[in-house]
Amino acid sequence: MKHLLLFIAIFSSTTWPGTYALEIVKVSVDVDDGNYRVFGQSRIEAPPEYVFSVLMDYDNFHKLAGGIAETSFLPTDESGNTLVYTRFESCVLFFCKNLEKIERIDSRLHASIRAQVIPERSDFLFSTAHWTITAIEDATLLTYEAEFRPDFWIPPVIGPWAVRRKLFQTAELIGTRIEWMHSRGLTLSQVSE
């Protein structure tokens, strides 16, 4: 989110107006001994260059996925790595927690974005995420893969169901908003919260 950080956020119940061609291809969540592995894939009616630019606008990313309170670029680290900050509220049923996450970002222009959490500065024991942005016909196939272990308790019986539900909602919300902005020629910085 930036990169599923979105996985269990509370999302706004309002969708941006209009009907779009977004297609959720697949969403899956696997849990093994508290480690989550998620996969999401959607077809978005916008070119890869546009999708990439929206996902990399981390100073405004919180506008894209409701429930995220704050996102921003941070100063680069001593090695010159790009760092990003996210603050959001995570809820699984009635269990809620404010979370913070600082990640190193690595990207290939218009093709992929990788994020690696810095555990000592985050509420995750580990977290890696990878967005792959692929041109298909006149659209984009957006693939999201992540593995993480939160540094907080998620109820084991409902955790996988809740994470899958939030992943689906997030993919739908992000895809629809990207299509809405693209159809109007807007950047994420031009959209009000």
Domain that holds residue 164: 6-184
64 occurs within a structural domain = yes
31-71 pLDDT, tens digit per residue, is: 998 899 999 999 999 999 999 999 999 999 999 886 688 99
Tell me which amino acid residue 158 is.
I
108 occurs within a structural domain = yes
120-172 pLDDT, tens digit per residue, is: 999 999 999 999 999 999 899 999 999 999 887 777 777 788 788 888 888 89
How large is the average pLDDT for residues 13-24?
Answer: 60
121 occurs within a structural domain = yes
Q: In this predicted model, which residue has the larger pLDDT, 13 or 160?
A: 160
Query: SS3 for 31?
Result: strand
107-120 pLDDT, tens digit per residue, is: 999 999 999 999 99
Domain count, the chain: 1
191 occurs within a structural domain = no
Q: In what order do the strands lie in the sheet with 112-117?
A: 23-32, 35-44, 139-150, 124-136, 112-117, 95-108, 82-92, 68-74
Alpha carbon distances (Å) from 26 to 6, 23, 108? 17, 9, 24
Q: How far apart are CA 44 and CA 140, in angstroms?
A: 5
11 occurs within a structural domain = yes
Can you give the CATH number for the domain in which 93 is found?
3.30.530.20
Q: In this predicted model, which residue has the larger pLDDT, 98 or 176?
A: 176
38 occurs within a structural domain = yes
Q: How far apart are CA 174 and CA 7, in angstroms?
A: 12
48 occurs within a structural domain = yes
189 occurs within a structural domain = no
What is the model's pTM? 0.85
The answer to whether 85 touches 111, Cβ cutoff 8 Å, is no
